[in-house]
């Protein structure tokens, strides 16, 4: 039950793009086409989940015991950067097909603030699922990270669909490109606001 | 001198990080719930941007090409952590308000972007000016978005209320951020690109 | 521009940069540690002062192993008796955790409350932070049924923000319950009554 709440909350209520404003740059950057949007979503999903697990463990067994939590930012970003590189290398060797699909997005992910944002959130923020406020344990953190990245994918794919239609329409010159895209996201976010309060 | 001045002014209009380069969107959208928050976020980013620009322009000639990205990230992350510690010590309230978005300055594409596009091939002095210019442009944009959202959403400017009761709450929440930024961008296109 | 890469100069460069950065961070941490601690202390004291009657001695933060209680402080009067408690308590609101500081007198009366942190909706639930609002004023000197009127209690909820009001009320109730537990112990100790007796009664 707890896990279900986490999943619904992370995907719909606190959608990472539409409610938390994380990972906006790649969200706007690669959502032109449905195919690239879904590729990016998969890569992000993979990295966010992996990075959150690794940084959670590092925080718990290295930073906290030694009183070094002020190094969270620098430690996490380096771990994420290294992790992304490793994923790239491993993927290249193990599954060339997957690498073909995700490869070009991987380098972009290091500077995707969604990854660092989720990693920091999980170890610093208290969460309320079902009324009680508490810190997440490893299992919950993993589920939360995975569900959050699913939310990212959902927003991205929906938005790419809208944008593909937008590109076929005449819009006033000053609205062309990003402005009309941002206004569409605003309307999407308005719709997602309707989910608030259900968890 | 005019040349030096143009390095600063181009950050305000021609290479405005928010409306033209469209970089660093996350803090732009998330922290501009009021004019003051936008201003503070802009200044925090400017602090890191200037320092990282200076240091990176200094070390760029001796950094081997293959490791330049990791080196830059370490430098930027160091300054962000310094900023976090200073803010916790001297402006704990601001630190609490801006929350997650202070550590996230590390992955703000403006900073790594300026390091790559400007600081690593220009002199220390020019890089510092570039940091100031882009930083000011970012701060100004965030403040403007903050002002618009605060007027519409809370009926106030910099915390001074001019109507009683509430504004249009959606503008303080997530959808308002996207809408205001979108329409401001339209306005900017109309004025700047004529 | 950039130097040519070789294994040696890459390793040297990375090590040097990391050493310098570590040094900068170490120094900054050492310099800012005291101000950060002071700021945290000042903040805690300010939030306690807001919810308690005018100043007697206040204890260090103590922890209680109770769900939802983050810690508490004991205020003692000049004669050494306990005059009030300040309890830091947290519950889940509409948008996330709501953390309160609640001042409670030993008899269970709420002295005052203040919001330490929250993530409620601006303009709706976030109104619980507005000082001097009816919602906040009603807590001063409150002693009654700790539930919102909708649930049959004595607390008027914030308009259109029942969930936030419930969370707020629950947080206060946690604090009052904690103090009620203490007061039992305190009076037992003061009157010299045997604690064992009480336990036997409870068991019986």
Q: Which residue ranges in chain A fall short of pLDDT 50?
A: none
**Are B154 and B79 a contacting pair, CB within 8 Å?**
no
Chain A residues in contact with B100 by the CB 8 A cut-off are 117, 120-121
**Are C98 and C105 a contacting pair, CB within 8 Å?**
no
Q: What is the pLDDT of residue C202?
A: 41
Q: What is the pLDDT of residue C23?
A: 93
Question: What pLDDT, in 10s, does the model give residues B105-117?
Answer: 998 888 988 888 8
Pairwise CB contact (< 8 Å): C90 & A126: yes
- Bridge partners, C104 (sequence order): C85, C110
Closest CA to C139 of C128, C152, C125, C123: C128
Tokens of C15: 């090590």
Q: What is the pLDDT of residue C3?
A: 65
DSSP assigned state of B50: H
Q: Where are the domains of chain C?
A: 1-40, 89-198
**CA–CA gap between residue A102 and residue A125 (Å, rounded):** 31
Q: What is the pLDDT of residue C194?
A: 37
Pairwise CB contact (< 8 Å): C3 & B78: no
**CA–CA gap between residue B157 and residue C167 (Å, rounded):** 31
Q: Which of B82-86, B186-190, C140-144 has the highest mean pLDDT?
A: B82-86
Spell out the residues 6+ positions from residue B122 whose beta carbon is closer than 8 angstroms to its own. B57, B130
- Mean pLDDT of the residues in chain B: 88
- Within-domain flag for A104: yes
Report the residue of chain B nearest C30, measured CA to CA. B85
**Are B77 and B115 a contacting pair, CB within 8 Å?**
no
Counted across chains A and B, CB pairs separated by less than 8 A come out at 118
C16 Cα distance to chain centroid: 44
φ, ψ for residue B145 (rounded to 5)? -60, -40
Report the residue of chain B nearest C17, measured CA to CA. B71
- Measured over the CA atoms of residue A169, residue A172, residue A173 and residue A175, the dihedral's sign is negative
Share of chain B above pLDDT 70, in %: 98
ipTM for this model? 0.85
Q: Containing domain of residue B85, as a range?
A: 2-192
**Are A131 and C91 a contacting pair, CB within 8 Å?**
yes
- Within-domain flag for A198: no
More confident residue, C181 or B139: B139
Pairwise CB contact (< 8 Å): B170 & A193: yes
**CA–CA gap between residue A176 and residue B14 (Å, rounded):** 18
Interface of A with C (CB under 8 A): 70-71, 74, 125-133, 196-197
Pairwise CB contact (< 8 Å): B60 & C2: yes
Report which secondary-structure segment, H or E, holds C38. helix C7-51
Closest CA to C166 of C123, C198, C201, C120: C120
Tokens of C195: 């604690």
Pairwise CB contact (< 8 Å): B80 & A73: yes
**Are B68 and C2 a contacting pair, CB within 8 Å?**
yes
Closest CA to A105 of A46, A181, A176: A46
User: Residue for token digits 């449905």?
Assistant: A34
Q: What is the pLDDT of residue A27?
A: 87
- Within-domain flag for A199: no
Q: What is the pLDDT of residue C190?
A: 41
Contacts 24+ apart (CB under 8 A), C60-63: C61/C88
Q: Containing domain of residue A68, as a range?
A: 2-193
C104 Cα distance to chain centroid: 12
Chain B residues in contact with C35 by the CB 8 A cut-off are 89-90
Q: Cα separations (Å) of A48 from A10, A125, B12, B172?
A: 13, 17, 35, 28
φ, ψ for residue C116 (rounded to 5)? -90, -45
Counted across chains B and C, CB pairs separated by less than 8 A come out at 87
Q: What is the pLDDT of residue B173?
A: 85
Helices (H), chain A: 2-8, 24-29, 34-58, 72-94, 96-102, 106-109, 113-124, 138-166, 178-193
Helices (H), B13-100: 25-30, 35-59, 68-90, 92-98
Q: What is the pLDDT of residue C191?
A: 41
**CA–CA gap between residue C37 and residue C50 (Å, rounded):** 20
Q: Considering its fold, how many domains does chain B have in total?
A: 1
Report the residue of chain C nearest A126, measured CA to CA. C97
Report the residue of chain A nearest B180, measured CA to CA. A183
Q: Which residue ranges in chain C fall short of pLDDT 70?
A: 1-3, 55-56, 183-204
**Are B22 and A28 a contacting pair, CB within 8 Å?**
yes
3-state secondary structure of A74: helix
Question: What pLDDT, in 10s, does the model give residues B156-174?
Answer: 888 888 877 777 888 888 8
C131 Cβ under 8 Å from any chain B Cβ: no
Q: What is the pLDDT of residue B1?
A: 55
3-state secondary structure of A128: strand
Q: What is the pLDDT of residue B75?
A: 93
């Amino acid at each position: 039950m707890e896990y279900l709440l986490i999943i619904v909350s992370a995907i719909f209520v606190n959608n990472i793009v539409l409610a938390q404003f994380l990972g906006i740059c790649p969200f706007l950057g690669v959502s032109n086409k449905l195919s690239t949007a879904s590729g990016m979503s998969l890569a992000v999903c993979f990295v966010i989940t992996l990075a959150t697990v690794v940084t959670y463990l590092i925080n718990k067994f290295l930073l906290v015991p030694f009183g070094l939590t002020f190094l969270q930012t620098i430690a996490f970003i380096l771990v994420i950067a290294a992790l992304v590189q490793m994923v790239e290398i491993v993927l290249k060797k193990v599954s060339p097909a997957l690498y073909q699909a995700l490869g070009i997005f991987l380098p972009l992910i290091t500077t995707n603030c969604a990854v660092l944002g989720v990693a920091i959130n999980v170890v610093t923020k208290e969460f309320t699922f079902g009324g009680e406020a508490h810190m997440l344990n490893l299992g919950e953190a993993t589920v939360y990270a995975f569900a959050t990245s699913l939310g990212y994918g959902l927003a991205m794919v929906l938005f790419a669909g809208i944008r593909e239609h937008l590109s076929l329409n005449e819009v006033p010159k000053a609205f062309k490109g990003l402005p009309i895209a941002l206004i569409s996201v605003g309307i999407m976010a308005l719709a997602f606001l309707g989910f608030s309060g259900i968890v | 001198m005019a040349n030096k001045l143009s390095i600063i002014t181009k950050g305000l209009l021609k290479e405005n990080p928010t409306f033209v380069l469209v970089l660093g969107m996350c803090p732009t959208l998330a922290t501009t719930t009021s004019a003051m928050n936008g201003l503070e976020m802009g200044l925090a980013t400017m602090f890191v941007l200037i320092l990282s620009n200076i240091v990176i322009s200094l070390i760029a000639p001796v950094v081997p090409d293959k490791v330049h990205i990791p080196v830059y990230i370490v430098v930027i992350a160091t300054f962000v952590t310094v900023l976090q510690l200073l803010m916790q010590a001297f402006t704990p309230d601001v630190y609490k308000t801006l929350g997650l978005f202070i550590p996230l300055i590390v992955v703000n594409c403006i900073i790594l972007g300026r390091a790559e596009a400007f600081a690593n091939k220009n002199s220390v002095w020019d890089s510092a000016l570039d940091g100031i210019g882009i930083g000011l442009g970012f701060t100004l944009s965030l403040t403007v978005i903050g002002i618009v959202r605060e007027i519409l959403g809370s009926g106030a400017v910099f915390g001074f209320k001019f109507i009683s009761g509430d504004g249009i709450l959606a503008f303080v929440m997530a959808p308002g951020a996207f809408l205001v930024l979108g329409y401001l961008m339209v306005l900017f296109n109309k004025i700047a690109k004529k | 521009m950039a130097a040519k890469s070789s294994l040696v100069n890459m390793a040297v460069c990375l090590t040097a940069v990391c050493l310098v950065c570590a040094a900068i961070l170490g120094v900054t941490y050492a310099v800012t540690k005291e101000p950060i601690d002071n700021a945290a202390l000042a903040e805690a004291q300010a939030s306690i002062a807001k919810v308690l009657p005018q100043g007697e001695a206040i204890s260090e933060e103590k922890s209680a192993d109770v769900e939802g209680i983050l810690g508490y402080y004991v205020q003692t009067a000049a004669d050494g008796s306990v005059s009030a408690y300040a309890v830091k308590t947290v519950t889940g609101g509409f948008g996330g955790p709501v953390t309160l500081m609640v001042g409670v007198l030993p008899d269970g009366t709420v002295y005052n409350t203040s919001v330490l942190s929250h993530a409620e909706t601006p303009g709706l639930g976030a109104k619980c932070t507005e000082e001097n609002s009816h919602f906040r004023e009603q807590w001063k000197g409150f002693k009654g049924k700790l539930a919102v009127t909708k649930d049959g209690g004595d607390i008027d909820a914030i308009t259109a923000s029942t969930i936030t009001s419930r969370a707020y009320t629950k947080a206060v109730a946690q604090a009052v319950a904690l103090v009620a537990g203490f007061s039992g112990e305190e009076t037992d100790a003061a009157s010299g009554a045997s604690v064992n007796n009480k336990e036997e009664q409870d068991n019986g």
